[in-house]
Chains A and B, each alone.
Chain A
Amino acid sequence: MVSRGLKRKLWNRFMLALTVVATAAALVPLASILYYVAVRGLPALNLDFFTKLPAAVGEPGGGLANAILGTIILVLLAGAMAVPVGILTGIYLAEFGRGRLAWTVRFLCDVLTGVPSIIVGIVVYSTVVLTMKRFSALAGGIALAIIMIPLVARTTEEILRLVPQSLREASLALGATRVRTVRSVVLRSAMGGIITGVMLATARIAGETAPLLFTALNSRYWPGGLTDHIASLPVYIFTYSTTPYEELHRLAWGAALILVVMVLTTSIAARLAARRLNGGR
């Protein structure tokens, strides 16, 4: 009996230790990725990287300034389309949506979140690019927006649902209209959460590559109009890393560093903000 008790105890220790090992193991790839992105990316960063256009293949020098600008433009474009639509959809789901239509929309939102982003890319290619007969920043922005809308919508809905019903009732009882209630009571208390959601969604789409391959394509010049093809950091990372040129690999690491810094600061800031909001309540 004693030995059985000992065995149980040892087993207990062992299994608990395993969970610690698992946790440590998960942090190894994170550390490795951040380490390599920093160590290989940093040497690639210099003034040229941020101010110059890519050089001809096989020639040294050049930068990815157009890709940095391109990524910012694509994200803003996507945001301009997705944020209003997403927030309104969220408001509809939380405040007005009843019955079958709301159920369908909520369900399709989840479906859309799960659709692989490459599929969004080919659909936007077939509809927007082939119609306009041009690869364009607009098409890229639309593809990213399609990925962003359900993310924003569902976060908005969830945040709005956290707003106590009593607040709404109080406002309505005071004679406020629905619009006014939503605007001044519900949105007011949910604003922080929604902004957090939007920031997280932004971070997510900034790194998307697959939807841009067939829509925004790539460019070695400064971004032109909305109907011109446009450069972006993720696409440059992909194309440069699969070429045989060392110089381009170096630039790919540099681009990865910039992208990771952009994405991580956005999402860390969002998370910290969320935490402060939650803590404050």
Chain B
Amino acid sequence: MVGKAGRGKIKDTLFAGISGLAALSIIFIIIVMLYELVVGAGPALARFGWDFLTGTRWDPVREQFGAWPLIYGTLVSSFVALALAVPLSLGIAIYLAELAPPWLREPVAFLVELLAAIPSVVYGLWGLFVLVPWLRTTVQPFLGNTLGFLPLFQGPPLGMGMLAAGLVLAIMILPIITSITREVLLAVPSSQREAMLALGATRWETIRMAVLPYGRSGIVGAVILGLGRALGETMAVTMVIGNRPQVSLSLFHPGQTIASVIANEFTEGFNEMHLSALLASALLLFVITLLVNILARLMVWRMNKIPQGVSRE
């Protein structure tokens, strides 16, 4: 008996040890990742210092590397995506959580989530051969003619560019924001709604004044998670953004993001400094997505910490 219990204990310790080792592998991966990026980025960072962030020249021949056009392209394409996806996602989440007939909720939610399952490169293919020609022949001429006085919509209609990248990204982050927001809304206690409705508020007023504010931090968290995904998205963006590192107000103009510059130029690094600059950009992207993800999780956690009250679930 004693022997058996002893064996059990040894097994327990062994098992805990093995699972602990597996867990340590995560730490190991992150350390290796950071090490490779930092070491690789070293020469470029040492040479350009803070100018690397603010410099606007990306010139492999003269070995001048400033990542600002890439940072700008990354931010602008992501914010265009947010501007399009956030209102839509909120609308869908509200509809699915508050308004849709019960038989419709699950199927529609399911379809929206399917968007998340489609591979990035397929978005790129569709963007390149369907979305871009449509933008070039229909949307951009229309925007140019009607809103052309805005600096946002100037320039020749190329199809490829910031606008195309923003649109594809918007579609890609839509399911992320929608599904989290929907869960957040479902977690809002129904007492909140009932109180408002009892006061004679319309359904929209109830949603706007009771439901949304209650779930605010969760929704913000969802949006930031979507942003994190958009910032690092590579293939679909590379295929439609036009790949030119420039800072331009117009969404018609081609741009370049950090991720797309890596996909384009990493294999063809012109010289050691070019490669180092690419790794420095990668490090930058790593840090940005890291911060964004931490922020998002803090927001969602905060939401979860709110006492649940009478949950509808």
Contacts and interface: CB of A to CB of B under 8 A. Distances in A.
A–B direct contact (CB < 8 Å): yes
A260 B119 CA distance: 7
B interface bracket (residues with beta carbon within 8 Å of A): 35 or more
A89 B126 contact: no
A96 B92 contact: no
7 contacts: A16-B99, A16-B204, A115-B232, A117-B232, A241-B128, A241-B239, A264-B114
B95 A260 contact: no
Interface in B118-143: 118-126, 128-130
**Majority DSSP secondary structure for residues of B touching A:** helix
A93 B284 CA distance: 30
Interface residues of A, number: 89
B77 interface: no
Nearest to A145: B29
| Best-surrounded residue of A88, A113, A123 (most CB of chain B within 10 A) | A123
B47 interface: no
Nearest to A18: B91
A237 interface: yes
A234 B121 CA distance: 6
Given A84-B22, A123-B33, A178-B12, A27 B203 contact: no
A214 interface: yes
A22 B122 contact: no
Interface stretch (A53-61, A163-171, A202-210, A222-230): A202-210
Interface of A: 8-9, 11-12, 15-16, 18-23, 25-27, 29-30, 32-33, 36-37, 40, 84-86, 88-89, 91-93, 95-97, 101-102, 104-105, 108-120, 122-123, 125-127, 146, 149-150, 153, 177-180, 182, 203-204, 206-210, 213-214, 234, 237-238, 241-242, 249, 252-253, 256, 259-260, 263-264, 267-268, 271
Contacts of A263: 117-119
B98 to A, nearest CB: 8
A33 B175 CA distance: 15
A264 B119 CA distance: 10
A152 B25 CA distance: 14
B92 A23 contact: yes
B99 A122 contact: no
Contact of A114 (B21, B88, B203, B232): B232
Interface of B: 8-9, 11-12, 15-16, 18-27, 29-30, 32-33, 36-37, 40, 87-92, 94-96, 99-100, 108, 110-115, 117-126, 128-130, 171, 174, 178, 202-205, 207-208, 228, 231-235, 239, 259, 262-263, 266-267, 278-279, 282, 285-286, 289-290, 292-294, 297
Nearest to B228: A114
Q: Which of A21, A104, A113, A118 has the most CB of B within 10 A?
A: A118
Nearest to A153: B26
B19 A30 contact: no
A225 B305 CA distance: 51
Given A26-B178, A29-B115, A123 B23 contact: no
Given A92-B23, A237-B121, A259-B119, A119 B95 contact: no
Contacts of A264: 114, 117-118
Given A119-B286, A127-B32, A210-B263, A30 B128 contact: no
A207 B289 contact: no
B36 A126 contact: yes
A27 B108 CA distance: 9
A207 B26 contact: no
Contacts of B204: 11-12, 15-16
Contacts of B32: 123, 127
A178 B29 CA distance: 28
B16 to A, nearest CB: 5
Given A108-B27, A111-B290, A23 B235 contact: no
Contact of B29 (A12, A126, A149, A208): A149
A113 B30 CA distance: 11
A84 B19 CA distance: 9
Contacts of A271: 110, 113
A179 B12 contact: yes
A26 B122 contact: no
Contact of A30 (B16, B114, B279): B114
A12 B205 CA distance: 7
Contacts of A238: 121, 124, 235, 239
A109 B92 CA distance: 29
A89 B15 contact: no
B115 A30 contact: yes
A234 B119 contact: yes
**Chain A CB within 10 Å — which of B19, B21, B125, B174 has the most?**
B125
